[in-house]
């Protein structure tokens, strides 16, 4: 992983999670595996999320759709938070779960809405 | 299924698949099960796709993301076609598969890109 | 969503979750999204669960099979409870997980049996 | 794998696929891997399908539900055929896909209905 | 399930989970369903894990890969523990999640790494 | 994507698919999306497959396990071919599907074995 790409990714994620959350997030990844942090920042952030062709808000909504369909816990929670920073409204995030309901089932939508509700309440509580 | 809702759904799908494709699509569903056609038109089309809160192009891109993540053959193909009618460009559709690659794996992205390529070629061939 | 269908669905779910549980369940759905409650009641309950062709007990066992295979937490728990009200015995519910074991793997069966055990214990504890 | 259990499984599958189909099916499994045939017959057939607690028709419908939810091609096709021998009607099999639609999504139901349609047509054509 | 095969499986699992953990594990399975314990020991342990052709360490790493891809909670945790007894190092287990990241997505890898981290910490804490 | 990493990945994949197959494979990816080819070569090949900690044969077997569990068609086929070049025997590849059978279900193992059989026959036919 090239240093420039890694730093580009950290910058990209900083914009999406907020300046106050980037270090705890990176520490969490590093504690699991330093190389995992390196790839999430450098490739997921520095290569994919920083591409053009699709705005960040749309990328966020598509990501939430994927993660709810597959039932991925940690990444779904993070992506709901990031979606708000990327310009999506709560209403739009909830709306994605209706597309999830028809194409991945009401059960996936339910699990996802419970997760979104938890994230929204944590944010409201500051 | 209320008649008004069913007709609203047919109208919604007509807009999304094109006037020349709506009857063959409905016949295909009816041949599998008349009630399946009724629910796809009336509920999927008349209730969910016709909601506000999120534009059709974004709904399409989220749907493609879900269907590629889950590997659903028939609906993925239809949704790639509908996405073009819903205002998404080929570039944007392909871009969704990069979000699929990071969150559902490169293997799901590959299978999805092969399907998109097939759809694009069929459309280009008229 | 037509009012008659919505009320038919509430009636259907009342029968399946019990008169004492329908209001808390509906409130839980409404707190996630009022429209989600509307569709779960009106479409899932009022259109699908209220169909003929297959008795409620068989529908319940098939639903448990699907939800265990896909690992959907909230809906699996609810459907195990509803299965008991729909005429399935604990023995039959557990038996479904043996079909899950061969066709979705022992790991899916294990996760599902843990959930069933939790539900059965809560019911026994009143 | 004990010989008695293996033979019990062959008997079980013979009942479910029909006397004319058991040898081609076993040969197909053996050509993939002799041990795979041994386990499918001896364990899947001789241990699980031959259990009591749940009748064969219900086991078949639950299996179809699982396989459609997971998108498993070969086993779904075989289980639709077996369901007919196990006492399920075409109407009941199709009905299972409505439970699939609500809990695993309309896309999984569509793929499954296409497969069921293919099997039904092959059987009708003799 | 033949008695000899069942006992062979218990022996196999005893080797993989450790002499101090085999009875609690079996009791956990039995409390969910006595027959589930019988099949996990006799078939999963006595037939599959005790096969030759592939060493236990490789079997463990492949199993972790499957379970992380499918998001199966209980079996993933058990298989991470067993992998250490089967000769895999922590480094190798973590390395598997990089293959998971590329083929099942970074989200599956993240969920799996969180689980591995929990298991490693419990073991270190004795 | 840094040029050095991209070239490292092409070299890595050349070793795994064989000198005669690398160009057709790259052309196939490029025809789907030039950037997809860039990331598969540069990241999947140049970052992950070229890591130490786990030998190529074990990486291949884990990848086959993941892809069979998730039912990913194109990548499963490629990874079965690559596994043979990475030092796995046909017997070992087939053995992986027994781990798939217990942890992802016999249905996933069946679909995977059919794919493996196809690849083996194509290779034998030259």
The arithmetic mean of pLDDT across residues D88-116, rounded, is 98
DSSP letter, residue A46: I
The confidence score (pLDDT) of residue A81 equals 98
pLDDT surpassing 90 at residue F126: no
What are the angstrom distances between the C-alpha of F39 and each of A43, B42, F34?
Answer: 9, 41, 9
Q: What is the CA radius of gyration of chain D?
A: 15
DSSP letter, residue A18: -
pLDDT surpassing 90 at residue B54: yes
- The C-alpha of A106 sits at a distance from chain D's nearest C-alpha, in angstroms, of 5
Beta-carbon pairs below 8 A across chains A and D: 20
Q: Which chain D residue has its CA at the smallest distance from F100's CA?
A: D36
- The H helix count followed by the E strand count for chain E is 7, 0
With beta carbons under 8 A apart, name residues in chain E contacting C113: 32-33, 36
Query: Considering only CB atoms, which residues of chain E are within 8 Å of chain B?
Result: 101-108
The structure tokens 């992506």 sit at A79
Q: What is the CA radius of gyration of chain B?
A: 15
With beta carbons under 8 A apart, name residues in chain F contacting A43: 43, 47
pLDDT surpassing 90 at residue B1: no
With beta carbons under 8 A apart, name residues in chain A contacting C66: 105, 107
The arithmetic mean of pLDDT across residues C13-41, rounded, is 98
What are the angstrom distances between the C-alpha of A64 and each of D84, E69, F76?
Answer: 40, 18, 26
Q: Which chain A residue has its CA at the smallest distance from B48's CA?
A: A98
Beta-carbon pairs below 8 A across chains A and F: 14
The structure tokens 């557990």 sit at C94
With beta carbons under 8 A apart, name residues in chain E contacting B107: 103-104
CB within 8 Å: B36 and D101: yes
- The C-alpha of C108 sits at a distance from chain F's nearest C-alpha, in angstroms, of 8
From CA A91, how far away is CA A95, in angstroms rounded? 6
Kindly provide the residue ranges of all beta strands, DSSP E only, lying in D20-68, ordered along the sequence.
none
With beta carbons under 8 A apart, name residues in chain E contacting C110: 32, 36, 72, 74-75
In three-state secondary structure terms, F53 is coil
The arithmetic mean of pLDDT across residues A4-21, rounded, is 97
Q: Which chain A residue has its CA at the smallest distance from C77's CA?
A: A107
pLDDT tens-digit readout, A37-82: 999 999 999 999 999 999 999 999 999 999 999 999 999 999 999 9
CA angle B18, B21, B25 (to 5 degrees): 125
- Nearest CB to F91; choose among E53, E65, E94: E53
Structure tokens given for D29: 């499994």
Determine contact, residues B100/B113, Cβ cutoff 8 Å. no
Determine contact, residues C79/C40, Cβ cutoff 8 Å. no
From CA A74, how far away is CA E118, in angstroms rounded? 14
CB within 8 Å: D102 and A103: no
Confidence of residue A107 (pLDDT cuts 50, 70, 90): very high
Query: Considering only CB atoms, which residues of chain B are within 8 Å of chain D?
Result: 31-33, 35-36, 39-40, 44, 66-67, 70-76
* Longest CA–CA separation in chain E, Å: 43
- E104 closest CA partner among F65, A38, C105, D96: F65
From CA B87, how far away is CA F11, in angstroms rounded? 40
The confidence score (pLDDT) of residue C126 equals 81
What are the angstrom distances between the C-alpha of D70 and each of C70, E65, F94, F101, F111?
Answer: 7, 18, 21, 14, 12
What are the angstrom distances between the C-alpha of E10 and each of E47, E49, E85, E87?
Answer: 11, 11, 15, 19
- D17 closest CA partner among D9, D34, D2: D9
Q: Which chain C residue has its CA at the smallest distance from B46's CA?
A: C1
The arithmetic mean of pLDDT across residues D84-94, rounded, is 98
pLDDT surpassing 90 at residue D70: yes
Confidence of residue D87 (pLDDT cuts 50, 70, 90): very high
The confidence score (pLDDT) of residue C1 equals 79
Q: pLDDT exceeding 90 applies to what percent of chain A?
A: 98
- Which are the contacts of C110, defined by CB distance < 8 A and separation ≥ 6? E32, E36, E72, E74, E75
Determine contact, residues A76/A67, Cβ cutoff 8 Å. yes
């Amino acid at each position: 992983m090239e240093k420039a790409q890694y730093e580009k990714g950290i910058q990209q994620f900083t914009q999406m999670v907020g300046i106050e959350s980037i270090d705890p997030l990176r520490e969490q990844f590093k504690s699991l595996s330093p190389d995992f942090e390196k790839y999430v920042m450098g490739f997921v952030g520095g290569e994919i999320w920083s591409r053009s062709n699709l705005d960040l808000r749309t990328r966020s909504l598509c990501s939430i759709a994927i993660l709810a369909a597959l039932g991925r816990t940690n990444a779904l929670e993070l992506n709901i938070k990031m979606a708000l920073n990327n310009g999506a409204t709560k209403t739009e995030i909830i709306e994605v779960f209706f597309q999830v309901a028809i194409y991945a089932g009401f059960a996936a939508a339910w699990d996802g809405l419970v997760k979104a509700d938890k994230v929204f309440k944590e944010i409201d509580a500051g």
